[in-house]
Amino acid sequence: MDYSKISDCLGVNDAGHLTVSGADTLSLAERFGTPLYVLSEDKVRDTCRRYLRPFHEHYGGLGTSIYASKAFCCKEILRVVVSEGLDVEVVSGGEIMTALAAGVDAKKIHFQGNNKTVDELTLALDRGIGDIVVDNITELHRLDRLAEERGITPKISLRIKPGIDAHTHAFIRTGQIDSKFGFALETGEAMNAAREAVSSTHLELVGLHCHIGSQVFDREPFVLAAKVMLGLFAKIKSELGKTMTHLNLGGGFGVRYKEEDGALPYESYMDDVSKAVHESCAQLGLAIPKIYIEPGRSIVAEAGVTLYTVGDIKTIPDVRTYVAIDGGMFENPRYALYQSDYTCLIANRADKPADFVATVAGKCCESGDLIQEHTPMQKPEIGDILAVLSTGAYNYSMASNYNRNPRPACVMVKDGQPRVIIRRETYDDLLRLDV
Ligand code: LLP
């Protein structure tokens, strides 16, 4: 199989080993141990550039792409994406502190979340976070009071539910009316929130935000969302006399986990959305606002590979073969949570056909601890290095210490050269918080 069709940072070298950005995965496993998250810096940078280019082509550089850091939040990744010119989206005090520790300019941080605590809002205000995306009326009032107490006027935007179904996995669909996120458009809730925000003397309403789902392959929902949101933009201008500066259309662009995944080039979303933005603005008599998008998964997913050592192979006649790896749901819970697809292979025989079918099982103490079921790979042997592709997003960031397993290290590869960006947890780390 041609693994570069899943991610162009992958290759197979003369030894038949899988490579990431030119680095031999067998050498990486040997040098840094397994399980190991590997991330191609070249691929992340390339993706950031592809996301920024259309802003110049379509909007004369107005607006930007914001990295949704929940996909993979650590200092070095934030440094990389910010050095490419992206802003950063955060959803917790922890993500704010990570971004600040990485040196991200507070003004370039966008703070999301459906139940930001008073402590988190206070932190955001005290650190001068540039854009607080208000989710609900309680939060609007809370923020108003906190701003008044401090004598400041923070910039806010409103999270809107535009009522768009992005045809994706039910757990990760967030744009429709039955969602815990944001102000509903069709009930009038969004307009009421805008009215309150505009009348507040302690808050400055600067934008609107929506996010319609994740791992979305269609262009249509994004186009529709842009039109619907610009309609609200215009309504706020005509009815409340408030012209905001930006419209954030969220993230959600799909990536390849399997060869057959029909992920569209990001540019094609951007082309279609930009057409819709220009048309709608002309129809509505609006100057084009700054457009933001907020991709997370698509910035990092395909840049990532996880490497494991095969510790055991258990064949149950007429049932299936389990390949047991030294990771599992503690470092990648996505199959257990969402039955997510992945491509698996034996990294040390990547040049051989994937003509064996097996189930990849983790080492946690429960039957549902699987990474992929009935999946093709090269015939495995004990001691092989098994690789799982497209693990850059929502793997490390959703990892836990379940069964007191230490979380793996992460190495970033640039021009074939690896460096540790997150060190492997030790047993001492696990015991650090216990009293
Ligand atoms: N903006 C907001 C407000 C979001 O809620 C999200 C994702 C994003 C941006 C980035 O979306 P992306 O481009 O990554 O699709 N844990 C799940 C994904 C949950 C996504 C939640 N929100 C998974 O592993 O598939």
Domain 3-40+302-431, CATH homologous superfamily name and number: Lyase, Ornithine Decarboxylase; Chain A, domain 1 (2.40.37.10)
Nearest to 43 by CA among 10, 78, 66: 10
Q: Which pLDDT score, from 0 to 100, does residue 52 have?
A: 93
- What is 112-299's CATH topology? TIM Barrel (3.20.20)
Confidence bin at 172 (pLDDT 50/70/90): low
Strand ranges in 27-154 using DSSP code E only, listed in sequence order: 36-40, 63-68, 87-90, 109-111, 131-134
C-alpha 252 – ligand 1 centre gap (Å): 6
Q: Which pLDDT score, from 0 to 100, does residue 62 have?
A: 87
C-alpha 214 – ligand 1 centre gap (Å): 5
Phi, psi of 216 (to 5 degrees): -95, 130
Instruction: Assess whether pLDDT exceeds 80 at residue 423.
Output: yes
Which residue CA neighbors atom 7 of ligand 1 most closely? 214
**pTM of the predicted model as reported, rounded to 2 decimal places:** 0.97
Pocket-forming residues, ligand 1, beta carbon under 6 Å: 68, 71, 89, 112, 172, 211, 214, 250-253, 294-298, 334, 338, 394
**pLDDT tens digits for 131-167?**
999 999 999 999 999 999 999 999 999 999 998 877 6
| Ligand 1 atom at shortest distance from the alpha carbon of 393 | 24
Q: Which pLDDT score, from 0 to 100, does residue 174 have?
A: 62
Q: Where are the domains of the chain?
A: 3-40+302-431, 112-299
C-alpha 43 – ligand 1 centre gap (Å): 20
The overall average pLDDT reported for the chain is 96
Instruction: Assess whether pLDDT exceeds 70 at residue 238.
Output: yes
| Ligand 1 atom at shortest distance from the alpha carbon of 172 | 19
Q: Which pLDDT score, from 0 to 100, does residue 171 have?
A: 56
Least confident of 170-179, 213-222, 406-415: 170-179
- Percent of the chain whose pLDDT exceeds 70: 98
The residue-averaged pLDDT of 171-183 equals 76
Rounded Cα–Cα distance for residues 150 and 122 (Å): 10
Q: Which pLDDT score, from 0 to 100, does residue 166 have?
A: 79
Q: Which pLDDT score, from 0 to 100, does residue 431 have?
A: 98
Asked if the domains at 3-40+302-431 and 112-299 fall in one CATH topology, the answer is: no
Q: Is 364 a catalytic residue?
A: no
Rg (CA), the chain: 23
- Percent of the chain whose pLDDT exceeds 90: 90
31: its two tokens? 């040098």
C-alpha torsion 191→197→200→201, nearest 10: -130
Q: Name the more confident of 163 and 417.
A: 417
Q: Which pLDDT score, from 0 to 100, does residue 173 have?
A: 58
Instruction: Assess whether pLDDT exceeds 80 at residue 72.
Output: yes
Instruction: Assess whether pLDDT exceeds 90 at residue 349.
Output: yes
Q: Name the more confident of 269 and 73.
A: 73
**pLDDT tens digits for 36-49?**
999 999 999 999 99
